[in-house]
Amino acid sequence: MARRVVLGVETLARAQTLLRGRRVGLITGPTGVDGRLRATVDILAEIYHLRALFASEHGIRGAVQAGGHVESEVDAETGVPVFSLYGASRRMTQQMLDAFDVLVYDIQDVGARFYTYLYTLSYAMQDCARAGKTVVVLDRPNPLGGAMEGTLLDEAFHSFVGEYAMPTRYGLTVGEYARFVRAHLQLDLDLFVCPMEGYARNMLYSDTGLVFVPPSPNIPTLESALSYIGTCVFEGTNLSEGRGTATPFQWIGAPWLDTKELAAAMRALQLPGVLFRRAAFVPTFSKFAGQNVNALMLHVTDARVYQPFATGLYLLDQARRQAGFAWLPPAEGGGWHIDHLLGTDAFRRGMSARELIAAHAPRVKAFGEQAREWFLYE
């Protein structure tokens, strides 16, 4: 059996001089475990003075659905107070900052720019910089490896699902992302990354030898994580992205969808590493709950050549040509959700998938070249 990757939580001894004798705060969730699935909460509580826990979207134990408010509480396992960073406020209050001297971050990301854990981390880094607090990031793999693709966010469309001009599939580990944020925002921050051992940039999560722990309720498997970055764009439409089924983000659909036409169009594109199958589902919640939905399922045949963002965008480009299609309208006081996900309004206004990808390709390449200064792994 190949040796597994050693996670940042397992190289924690490298940061012990920063943690020993100091009050420790921890941002974590259900993915905050070591390679043997022992919770980071328990590890820190046993060794250091753990004084505060901070919950991002989905909560410390992962029971909250997407978009649901996370409440502040006391963790039943440790007796440590839990402060919500996904409720009335997503920033650290003075009360929160007063509870610790050094903040540790340990959450598995999925490699997508619009995954909210990224901005929980960057907001906390900004708050800690202003308060003179140290931040320690326990590094974890990027499940999609080091490849980059997609669009770069235009500043006019920044939100909690996209703050910075980086590609949709940004190709950094969470520790490298933290280094990017510190440089991009020019933060005067004491930042330390506990690196992984045995990790390489070309690794997909399936290469790491690690157990995949669902980072959120609607990404229950690695297969869902692989396609999420592409099919998540359907959140901005009146098609279902598979929430309320056992395989969210692995298929899309609607009761009115002509899947025969859609399947033929997608197969004609001959996209690498993926096949398409006509299917049907009945969601238990979210869009079309309790209704029969005509669906197209994505089957990844080769994750190394698969381009999930491009695949999802081409799929949306074809689906929007059908008579029943509509964009979800902007929320009150907000913008179009699809524009926030893509970081641009060009696609909604008529630019094709091929044109949008081509227009952003030079910017994605330039970001990749600049990102080398934040790399921790070859």
Across 61-70, 144-153, 173-182, 294-303, least confident range:
61-70
Closest CA to 194 of 19, 9, 5, 4: 9
CA–CA dist 185, 221 (Å, integer): 34
pLDDT score for 56: 84
Residues contacting 185, CB < 8 A, separation 6+: 122, 125, 126
222-345 to CATH, choices 3.90.1150.140, 3.10.20.90, 3.40.640.10, 3.30.70.1450? 3.90.1150.140
Mean pLDDT value of segment 56-85: 71
CA–CA dist 301, 196 (Å, integer): 28
pLDDT score for 58: 62
Give the mean pLDDT of the chain.
Answer: 94
Mean pLDDT value of segment 345-356: 98
Which residues make up the CATH 3.40.50.12170 domain(s) of the chain? Answer: 8-215+369-374
Q: Express each pLDDT in 162-178 by its tens digit.
A: 889 999 999 999 999 99
CB contact at 8 A, 50 and 78: yes
Mean pLDDT value of segment 217-224: 94
pLDDT score for 189: 98
pLDDT at 257 > cutoff 60: yes
Across 82-91, 126-135, 245-254, least confident range:
82-91
pLDDT score for 60: 78
Whole-model pTM: value is: 0.94
CA–CA dist 280, 30 (Å, integer): 31
Class of domain 8-215+369-374: alpha beta
pLDDT at 86 > cutoff 90: no
Q: Express each pLDDT in 6-25 by its tens digit.
A: 999 999 999 999 999 999 99
Element (DSSP H or E) covering residue 267:
helix 259-269
pLDDT score for 331: 80
pLDDT score for 162: 81
**Residue-wise DSSP of 127-154:** HHHHHT-EEEEE----TTTT--EEEEPP
pLDDT at 140 > cutoff 90: yes
pLDDT score for 195: 98
pLDDT at 70 > cutoff 90: no
pLDDT score for 67: 46
CA–CA dist 378, 375 (Å, integer): 8
Mean pLDDT value of segment 354-367: 98
Q: Express each pLDDT in 1-11 by its tens digit.
A: 468 999 999 99
Which residues make up the CATH 3.90.1150.140 domain(s) of the chain? Answer: 222-345
Model confidence at 319, in pLDDT bands (50, 70, 90)? very high
pLDDT score for 89: 80
pLDDT score for 61: 62
